[in-house]
Structure 1
Amino acid sequence: MQSHILVLPYPISANRYWSSRLVKPKGKPAFTSTYVTPEAKAYKAQVLALARKAGFARPITGRVKVEFTLFPNRPQDWQKRMRKDGTAWDDTVQCLDLDNAQKVVLDSLKDVVFEDDRWVREIHARRAEPDEHGARLVAVVTPLHTYDPQSVLFGLETAA
């Protein structure tokens, strides 16, 4: 199966992607409502535009594997940091946690690159060393070949 590579803007924090508010309906108990923020909608619109430019006319249907690499912004004093600690200088660079980035990435790719995040069967995430290309996220989405168990019994393998 062919993999699709997308270079996306650096994701916003999950704390800024979703927000909550207390709703107090008259005569009913109060409850908390979670919603996607305007900043998140703008990020998702950027992802949609980049996906369309990359050739995604519609989302992949079925199971997918998602791999992503998070590149934090390289600070101006990166050479000084590297001289101080050559092997772990990038640990001092501010960066989203991978699990935080994963939630935002999967939500922004949903309905754009794949139908729904329930179809994601594999996830691989890594944080890369900052480089001269700036802060970004590189996502690789691969449709997974699946077999119908009944077809396999009768030698009729099919891709879903």
Structure 2
Amino acid sequence: MQIEHTELSKTFGYDLLDAAAATDDSTFLNVVLDIEPIPCSDDPFLLHKTTRREVYETARKRTECDWHPDIANIAVRMKVDDRWIWRTPRLDCGLLAGTFRRQMIEEKQVEEGIISIDDLVRAQKHGDPIICFNSVRKAYRVRLLIREHKTEGQV
């Protein structure tokens, strides 16, 4: 067996996140926020990227998301202790580690922490940047859409 790899670009940093944050709002991509948490556990199918995607397909149906979502990490520009930072959720919050995410943390370009639903809604309301990023698409600004959930018995 032979394993090959490609060195990650050293240009992925604040400049890329800030450039994505400064884009015109007509270029923002819409993302749907599912307010029902997925189970966080040590389940390897939730911790690693696999073809077993039932939990995510269920969330798409629940939020009536009719387009195919990107697989991306998220960073939110927020003020913490009188300074602005880029924050990405901790791994135990139920997301994939991602190679760019890991690099950003190692280079101290983003900080891990809790990002609550209230934090996301507040950022959207105040115009604070919400960025998605992955190794394929790089960084791009998103607009948060929140859809009401239907409970059982609701029509």
TM-score, structure 2 as length reference = 0.27
Structure number, greater radius of gyration: 1
**Looking at both structures, which has the greater relative contact order when contacts are Cα pairs under 8 Å and sequence separation is at least 6?**
1
TM-score by length of 1: 0.27
